[in-house]
Amino acid sequence: SQQGEEDPQALSIQEGENATMNCSYKTSINNLQWYRQNSGRGLVHLILIRSNEREKHSGRLRVTLDTSKKSSSLLITASRAADTASYFCATDAWGAQKLVFGQGTRLTINP
């Protein structure tokens, strides 16, 4: 079963624009993580935000977390062609002892 739901399922933008992806989840969490997956490859960890944090930055990435709405967003600023990939949120729910991944957002950056 998948706890997280990403929105949109697919996103296509021009290089240089900002990309925003959203994740909603169902139960209380310990932390939420975002991963990137290039086509046919393994996942790469991008950022982890804990339940007591509201915003976190890493380079061109900005993640927000709203535990009252059970939602998170990932913003990629000044997008590049190399950002083309699938992006997944993963939640570590209280008591679950495992990460549960969403369906992912497929991001395409057009040159």
Residue 99 pairs in a beta bridge with 92
Output the DSSP codes for 52-106: T--EEEETTEEEEEETTTTEEEEEE-S--GGG-EEEEEEEEETTT-SEEE---EE
Residue 49 lies near another protein (rule: CB under 8 A): no
Q: In the complex, what is the shortest distance from the CB of residue 16 to another protein, in angstroms, rounded to a whole number?
A: 28
CA pair distance 47, 8, nearest whole angstrom: 19
Among 65, 85, 100, 109, binds another protein (CB under 8 A): 100
Among 12, 41, 57, 110, binds another protein (CB under 8 A): 41
Among 14, 59, 82, 98, binds another protein (CB under 8 A): 98
Residue 101 lies near another protein (rule: CB under 8 A): yes
Q: In the complex, what is the shortest distance from the CB of residue 4 to another protein, in angstroms, rounded to a whole number?
A: 8
Residue 4 lies near another protein (rule: CB under 8 A): yes
Binding piece for another protein, criterion CB under 8 A, among 13-21, 31-39, 59-67, 75-83:
31-39
Please tell me the count of residues contacting another protein according to CB under 8 A. Answer: 25
* DSSP-based three-state secondary structure for 109: strand
Identify the CA nearest to 70 among candidates 32, 41, 15, 108. 32
